[in-house]
Structure 1
Amino acid sequence: MYVLVYVNDILVTKNNSDRVTAMLHQLSTEFSIKDLGPLDFVLGIEAHNHPKGMLLCQTRYIDDLLTRSGLADCKLLLTPMSTTATTSEAGGVPLKDVTQYRSIVGALQYVTLTRPDVAFSVNKVCQYMHSPTEDHWMLVKCILRYLKATRAHGLLIERSPDNTLQAFFDADWAGSSKDRKSTGGYAVYLGPNLVSWNLRKQQTVARSSMESEYKVVADASTKLFVVRIFIS
């Protein structure tokens, strides 16, 4: 049985529904609780039944985010960022309202809980939080337009007896034009399911592409070890 607690929200799951019912009854004798039934919506994340398992998405959260940013009726975009245009930290017209930029970018970080496909682009706009410009805001709008086009996409958790652990990773070399630091990321799969991922700029400068790759290998190996302990 797994019990996930966040403040006053509790998720209980087990392969035996009678045991779950018994536990909820026992909790109700000690605390004032309300059974909301099967998982449907929690902490901004929607859970939908799928022929293969369960689909986790944030459609309503994305709609609210588009409304907050004034882009509810924006044009759709099929990629979260340009693959050719480059944006530096220096230059550009400073934003008049940096609060909106920081608020929207902060909210975008929460979207990556079910949308790892925007993790790289969100990581990029997070690097300009201290002094955003109009060019940086355009990058944010590209992400929002892409999310509007793919608002129903999410993370599929499949039913599978396969407990094989595997990880995929990659890194650029000196991708930042300002400090020459590299950006690396990894994705960890348990069977067919993506269970952990990470993408960030490396803290030190890599002197070769091999060194930047080795740093990502170390991060991915550590995460594999943690996941292996959790499932064993």
Structure 2
Amino acid sequence: MAANSKLFKVSGTSLKDPTEYRSVVGALQYVTTRSDIAFVVNRVCRLLHTPTIDHWAAVRHILRYLKGTIDHGLFFASNSCPLSIQAFLDADWAGCPDDKRSTRGYAIFLGQNFIAWSSKT
């Protein structure tokens, strides 16, 4: 999904039977371990209450994308160096002198590969 595309809560004609939409979106939540679709699946999940034809078109677009990228993934050879997960966490409790807000963050490595991070204030 393009970053500038918009899915509005009320856009287009409502689906007569939203059961299939809800079922497919629920199944897509299990695939959100793929970071390339996590954002867009979250967007269509927000529209479960009153799905429209436009929302269903977005879900079908996600399914076509998944079909076209089914062979994408990471390959880990068995003879390579042993994989280990390392996580680093740091926090600055009430470090801001103005409002006493804390800053915290983490980084996760799989072997030597940086795979996840977060930073919040």
* Alignment TM class, shorter chain as reference: 0.5 to 0.7
Structure 1 length normalisation: TM-score? 0.37
- The structure with higher relative contact order (CA 8 Å, sep 6+) is 2
Aligned to 2:96: none
Percent pairwise identity: 47
The counterpart of 2:68, out of the listed 145, 149, 163, is 149
The counterpart of 1:134, out of the listed 50, 53, 57, is 53
Give the conservation status (yes or no) of the 8 Å contact 1:112–1:118: yes
- CA shift at 1:218, angstroms? 3.1
Change in CA separation of 1:129 and 1:217 when aligned onto 2, cut-off 3 Å: same
Q: Say if 2:8 is the partner of 1:88.
A: yes
Structure 1 gaps of 5+ residues are 1-80, 168-185, 198-215, 220-232
Give the conservation status (yes or no) of the 8 Å contact 2:85–2:109: no
Give the Cα separation in 1 of the matches to 2:108 and 2:58. 27
Give the Cα separation in 2 of the matches to 1:92 and 1:155. 39
The counterpart of 1:192, out of the listed 89, 102, 113, is 113
Structure 2 gaps of 5+ residues are 90-105
Q: 1:218 is matched by which residue type in structure 2?
A: K
**Greater per-residue helix proportion:** 1
Give the conservation status (yes or no) of the 8 Å contact 1:105–1:125: yes
Q: 2:23 is matched by which residue type in structure 1?
A: S
Give the Cα separation in 2 of the matches to 1:151 and 1:127. 25
Structure 2 length normalisation: TM-score? 0.66
- CA shift at 1:92, angstroms? 1.8
Change in CA separation of 1:164 and 1:100 when aligned onto 2, cut-off 3 Å: same
Give the Cα separation in 1 of the matches to 2:26 and 2:120. 27
Q: Say if 2:120 is the partner of 1:218.
A: yes
Aligned to 1:16: none
Dislocated runs of 4+, deviation >6 Å: none
